[in-house]
Homo-oligomer: A and B are copies of this chain.
Amino acid sequence: MSEVSWIAVDWGTTQLRVWALSAGGEVLQHAASARGMGSLAVDQFEGALLELIDGWLDAERVTEVVACGMVGARQGWREAPYAEVPCAPQAMARMIRPEVSDARMRVSIIPGLCQRTPADVLRGEETQISGLLSEWPDYHGLVCLPGTHSKWAEVRDGQVIGFQTFMTGELFALLSGQSVLRHGMRGDQPFDLPAFEVGLRAASERPLLGALFGLRAESLLEGLAPAAAWARLSGLLIGQELAGLPERWQGLSVCVIGDGQAAERYRHALATLNISAQTLGAEQVTLAGLAAAHQHIRGGF
């Protein structure tokens, strides 16, 4: 294969994903493991990384490894303190380098972003936003990043102006898997899009804490189908999220990052509110953002 020029790393709480890239930016190899930051002690990070990339390293030279995500959290490999918005998504000057014992690599960790009022933080998404700006340098609008904690960021003039985290995905997992609602719902059937839309509409009509138990009551009284209850819950929560976006963001363009089911649901939810959204693939923007950071490092960080 052609020579590995550098290695891109997306290291989240539950997953570690790595890519070997050529000098021309081509993906030569890809690997992943479940050794996320949440399962590692500080002295286990280098080993977890080498487990995946050892064969890509060259004994004759130092390969740059560029990482983003929770690996830079306080409980991660080494803390990369947040940069405060408004600022460019990747705070290159604050990138940090954990010590490594393997001389074949040099690792850089990209810091996350923080916001003082209202208090908020993110790690990993800054790199996806940077990747979006690599594609569209003049982008002005909102970036929607669905996930366990979905993030919405306002981007203008190459900077992140502000952002907002919603615990929508985590709440969905808790409510569908561990609350009393679990008795009346199933997620192993085809997604019930009409029920999702009913949930979306209900989100603006009824307060969330009251609407939730309604799903249980409809199961008991009207035999609401488990797959419909599942989709209704998803619609209720995503609908609440969209209804809770700050007013100053009304009317801005939206780009949803992601290629999976979650992103598809957000796009559908936005469309039902007559908000058209562009889309970029998550892996595509993550790699573009890591490449932007690598360019900077090569330029002499």
Residue numbers of A with Cβ under 8 A of B are 74, 82, 114-116, 118-121, 149, 164-168, 170-171, 174-175, 178-180, 206-214, 216-218, 220-222, 237, 240-241, 243-244
CA gap between A171 and B74 in the complex, in Å: 28
Residue from B121, B166, B210 within 8 A of A220 (CB atoms)? B121
Chain B residue, CB-CB nearest to A115 = B217
As for how many copies of this chain the complex holds, the number is 2
Contacts of A244 in B (CB 8 A): 206-210
CA gap between A217 and B240 in the complex, in Å: 20
Contact B240 A208 (CB under 8 A): yes
- Nearest chain B CB to A162 CB, angstrom units: 12
- Nearest chain B CB to A249 CB, angstrom units: 12
Contacts of A214 in B (CB 8 A): 118-120
Contact B164 A217 (CB under 8 A): no
CA gap between A299 and B240 in the complex, in Å: 51
- Nearest chain B CB to A180 CB, angstrom units: 7
Contacts of A216 in B (CB 8 A): 121
Contacts of A165 in B (CB 8 A): 210, 213, 217
Residue from B121, B206, B212, B222 within 8 A of A167 (CB atoms)? B212
Instruction: Specify which of A114, A119, A206 lies most central, judged by the most chain B CB atoms within 10 Å of its CB.
Output: A119
Instruction: Specify which of A178, A214, A218, A241 lies most central, judged by the most chain B CB atoms within 10 Å of its CB.
Output: A214
CA gap between A210 and B212 in the complex, in Å: 17
Contact A209 B174 (CB under 8 A): no
Contact A221 B175 (CB under 8 A): no
A-B contact pairs, 8 of them (CB 8 A): A82-B221, A114-B217, A118-B210, A119-B214, A149-B180, A167-B213, A170-B180, A207-B240
Chain B residue, CB-CB nearest to A202 = B118
Contacts of A211 in B (CB 8 A): 118
Further contacts, 16 of them, CB under 8 A, given A121-B220, A167-B179, A210-B241? A116-B221, A119-B214, A119-B221, A119-B222, A120-B214, A120-B217, A149-B213, A166-B210, A167-B180, A170-B179, A171-B179, A174-B175, A178-B178, A207-B241, A209-B240, A210-B244
